Amino acid sequence: MFGIFFHHCSLKFPPLFNRWRHPSSAVFPPSAFSLSSYLHRSFSSSSVTAAMSDHAKEDNAESSQRVDDHHLILGAKQELFFCHEWSPGSWFFLPHGTRIYNKLVDFIRNEYKDRGYQEVISPNIYKKDLWDRAGNYTKEDMYVLEVDKQEYGLKPMNCEGHCLMFEHRVRSYRVSPQFIVEIRIMHLFKLLG
């Protein structure tokens, strides 16, 4: 594809004292998809001590009884954001929600800058050939368009664009690794629900 990338995680996790599973659910997708597969959502929790475990179970029981604190309800009540059936899965940010969103993005930008990342911007749409080359062309997960008898896809991820940025000129090994970040909206096709 484009090269080899490594990710290293040096976090050390404590041994877990107690684990429990929360209720899970399964949903069959619309008839356009294979009925032999289904969407599965499960939740689990763990804790280091018995006291933490008991406290977490109490919190979970309390929060499951509160319907009013769901983010969709709170967002609409506080006039932060809402969703609409004509653009499912997309958020409409109202003025106050936009201010909060922009503050959060500014915070994230500063954190990335402090850690040595450089911000870039890449296009939102690419020819099908790029997705084929990267091995990420899946019509089920992408919004696909046909323009002048060629297929294009809205980007569900930044990786391919960033790889094109990296390969557009020869670089010395002395400038590696390069840390780039892009704070943009992705267009990933997901089932409703």
Q: Model confidence at 191, in pLDDT bands (50, 70, 90)?
A: low
- pLDDT value at residue 69: 62
Ranges of each domain in the chain: 13-66, 71-115, 117-193
What does the pLDDT average to over 162-182? Answer: 86
The most confident of 28-32, 63-67, 163-167, by mean pLDDT: 163-167
Closest CA to 191 of 69, 71, 82, 37: 37
Q: Model confidence at 30, in pLDDT bands (50, 70, 90)?
A: very low
Q: Is the entire prediction scored with pTM above 0.85?
A: no
Each residue's pLDDT tens digit, 82-96: 888 888 778 899 999
